[in-house]
Structure 1
């Protein structure tokens, strides 16, 4: 039997492989962003499990800085405003009280108004202290926000009306819950990462055709 040879034209395969190589950064950023937004939704959902009746402001605390083809890194973080009071639940420490009280004490409701989430509405204390019948001070050893009785509605020969304690300052203390923000995201990425990469590659192949 005589010798013979077979010649294969691999130029098409080489071009396809070259095109796929060019698509790797896109597939990588797609997988990373998919994981990042899944982690963001998981973190936001966990807020309702960690805290009792959290405000929507808290359940939307997480954000994503997306990955790109040139920089395949996505950053999952707490938004600046929410990070102020949520960070102690991740790193430890006392509750965040802001600039409301120079002593760093907590202000808790007594007879004062709260919102649907059991918290003091934003800006309410400032508005109350602007009223002539409300003041901040210490009465009978209790430091808080007090309301003076008004003359309106007072009945003749009735016993003198008493001051009403609206909100009371209590000594701050360390938070008693843990956010597990970093651990939760890391575990999800480790668990779902291979599937996200596979889905991104398949999507890249389909769109490249």
Structure 2
């Protein structure tokens, strides 16, 4: 559990058990744990919705990254946390700074298909590296700018058939346009490499969790204790 993205839900409700009969007192620790868990689940639900509202179309992995360690009868503290992998790249959305990069550079897709969440499909870069019409490096453009990235060479499909490792024709070629660049065609930039960009959105994870606990903990505990007392009278 990442400490910066963890919230603990606890209570001093054990004080309410004083003066109650022995049977009810035995029920109180269990009731307190139930009440705390109800509030903890509310916090988790709020934080999951917070991810959807704050981030741009987060993936299911990110949306499902909020976990709850439930309170128990002998340990009346619940923990709502962000799972470690997601916490590592979401932490800048809480503390500020720049986006975490999965590689040495920011991958900025240009002319390549993304998945439904606007992200590069997993292993895309590795697959591109194995293609004969792809190279990775820096190119100086006609304007004098040097761009580092993944480039696709033009292919004269009338004269050349490019095959993959299984002997099948490669698709999604950069077909040669002989009217460009003196008949040599133009390189196509698929992915541009860049530096990590500053995070502009904020989750306010801690503040939202605190507000939710303050709003619900007393009500959830009262309801759980009332249920315990009704059970005791039967």
TM-score, length of structure 1 as denominator length: 0.84
Is the radius of gyration larger for structure 1 or structure 2? 1
User: Do residues 69 (structure 1) and 93 (structure 2) align?
Assistant: no
CA RMSD of aligned residues (A): 1.8
Other structure's SS at 1:74 match: strand
Residues 1:157 and 1:26: Cα distance change in structure 2 (over 3 Å):
closer
Conserved 8 A contact 2:128-2:134: yes
User: Do residues 24 (structure 1) and 28 (structure 2) align?
Assistant: yes
Cα distance, 1:135 vs. partner? 2.1
User: Do residues 145 (structure 1) and 150 (structure 2) align?
Assistant: yes
Highest RCO, 1 vs 2 (Cα 8 Å, sep ≥ 6): 2
Hey, what's the Cα distance between the residues in 1 that align with 2:61 and 2:41? 18
Residues 1:157 and 1:194: Cα distance change in structure 2 (over 3 Å):
closer
Moved more, 76-85 or 127-136: 127-136
Q: Which runs of 5 or more residues in structure 2 are unaligned?
A: 1-19, 141-145, 160-175
Hey, what's the Cα distance between the residues in 1 that align with 2:178 and 2:52? 52
Question: How do 1:50-199 and structure 2 match up within 5 A?
Answer: 50-98=54-102, 100-101=103-104, 105-140=105-140, 141-153=146-158, 159-199=183-223
Q: Which runs of 5 or more residues in structure 1 are unaligned?
A: 1-15
After TM superposition, where is structure 1 displaced by more than 3 Å over at least 4 residues in a row?
153-158
Conserved 8 A contact 2:177-2:186: no
Cα distance, 1:114 vs. partner? 0.9
Cα distance, 1:207 vs. partner? 3.1
Moved more, 55-64 or 145-154: 145-154
TM-score, length of structure 2 as denominator length: 0.76
Residues 1:182 and 1:153: Cα distance change in structure 2 (over 3 Å):
farther
Aligned residue number for residue 200 of structure 1: 224
Aligned residue number for residue 8 of structure 1: none
Residues 1:157 and 1:173: Cα distance change in structure 2 (over 3 Å):
closer
